[in-house]
Every structure is written in structure tokens, then in C-alpha cells.
Amino acid sequence: MDAAKLKTEFLEYLEIEKGRSLKTIENYDRYISRYLGWSKVKKPKDITEESVREFRLWLNRQPGGSGESMKRRTQNYYLIALRAFLKYIRKRGIETLSSEKIELAKVPERDLDLISPADLERLMHAPEGEHLQALRDRAILELLFSTGLRVSELASLNRDINLDRDELSVRGKGEKVRVVFLSKSAKEAVSRYIKKRTDIDDALFIQLGKNAKTRDDLRLTPRSIERLVKQYALKAGISKKVTPHVIRHSFATDLLENGADLRSVQALLGHASVTTTQVYTHVTDKHLREVHERFHGKKRK
């Protein structure tokens, strides 16, 4: 079978069987198409270790940001997509290179963007006043920190959430549903905002002011929420870059610093694998240092 046709069927499989987001499918399409276009491969059996090795070399010489070569992490996105594609082809019983033959490049551990508890507190209090926009923005910030939601998950919430309960169900990546929990301050902030609204739009967080009058769909976009968080960070005098994802990091860090285990944090964040959550182990490492200092070598003189 033709490799290009198999790629189309693979992308359809990701959408229908795996429930992947359209953004993920677009990315996989781009990564695999770039390999097929570069290598001129027509048949699955023509995908070889040598061909992939030369493609990696070519990727490594492509320009990235700031005039440097493409980052290793970005190169790995291409390889991850290609591995998934090969796995699918072999699952279909078609001869091709084993996905296990493709190893990912070693990448340095990511530095987490974090803000201090004092900065976070100032951010939460940055929306001032009792007008609808201030109530909306306070609810957004409180909900982000209380739940650790991704910005896309927050934007997709509807106003019919049951505030009599301290939890709500969220549909995350891969259409997986998880439960997140609302703090007392988050519940109060959302409740006050909803009570103040006079519209009938289904979305929980909506456009207000001049923008709302020119739009059919009032739902705030993830991009709008990112801009809003950035503006309040500036207002709160925070010099670091602050995004909804930084607040998500703060949510996870706060749990771990207060004794939560990594598996529980994984479930609350909606990570498919605990290896993704392990980016936060720098927090638990601090506790290990304290344990070592308190309990090690006390009987030695």
C-alpha cells in the first residue's frame, strides 16, 4: 500500500479510534508529511533506519528560533509522530521499519516556570471591583489555581456547573474525563460572577464590553484567557512571564510541597503517564534533602 494513503488512514485512526484533538492530528500530519516529502519514500517497506538517520541529521541542521538549529525537543516531536505511524503500519500487518529502532534524542530536563506564593497571591487579588469583568476575571484566576485546568479545558466549561458540589468533571486530552476539585474561594468567585450575569449564553466565561457586541459566539478563547492572565500579572507587578500553564505548574507544586504523592497529582492534572508528572520531582527532591539533613549520620562524632 502507498505510504501517503496509509498516512491519511493513520490520521483518521487517531481522530476516530484514539479521540486525539484536531491540533494533535494537524501536527502529526505536518511531521510525517515532512519526512515523506524529504525522503521521497513511496512504500512502507522503503522506510529504513538509514533513511530515518539521514532525516534526523537534516532536521538537526534546520534553523530554529533565535538563529540556532532546531531544538532537540522539537526534533523529537517528528520522531514521536513517525514512531506512532510505523507502529500503526505494523499493526495493520504491513512490512515496515520497527518503531523500536527509532530512539529519541536526549534532551535536558525542562526548567519549570514558577512564581512565588506571594506573587500568586497578588495575582489572585489583581482584578479589583464588583463589576462583571472583575468578577469574571477573579473567577478565572481562582478556578485555574484551584483545579490546575489546562487553558483549553477552562475555556470549554459551560455555566451549568453544579456549585452545590466541590467538584466538576472535565473532558481533557484524548477525550478523557477526570474530576477536579473547587476550593472555597474558587466556588465563591464563580458563584458571584454567575449571579451577576444577565445574558443567556451557555459558556461559563464570555467576552464582555465592545468585543461582545460584534461576535456571535461569546465564549472566551484560550488565547483571550492567556492575554487576560498576562495583563493581571503586569498589574500585580510580577516581572516573570505568567500564563495559565504557569498557574497549572503552581497548582501541582503546591500539592507536592504539602505532601501529595506524584500519582495523585498525575490524576488531578490529567496526565496520561506519570513520566509527564515527573517534571515536578524538583519539589519532592527538596523534601529528600530535608530528610537527609535531619536523619543522616546523627550517631557519628
Contacts of 167 (CB under 8 A, 6+ apart): 179, 180, 181, 182
Annotation says 219 is catalytic: no
| CA end-to-end distance (rounded Å), the chain | 74
Active-site residue, from 159, 171, 245, 282: 245
Active-site residue, from 90, 173, 196, 197: 173
Active-site residue, from 136, 138, 187, 248: 248
Distance CA 32, CA 35 (A): 5
Annotation says 213 is catalytic: no
Annotation says 245 is catalytic: yes
Q: CA dihedral in degrees (193, 195, 200, 205; nearest 10)?
A: 10
For residue 265, the tally of other CB atoms under 10 A from its CB is 22
Active-site residue, from 150, 193, 232, 249: 150
Annotation says 173 is catalytic: yes
**With b meaning 16 or more CB within 10 Å and e meaning fewer, what string describes 104-130?**
eeeeeeeeeebbeeebbebbbebbeee
Cell, residue 268: 488531578
Nearest to 279 by CA among 148, 115, 113: 113
The catalytic residues are: 150, 173, 245, 248, 271, 280
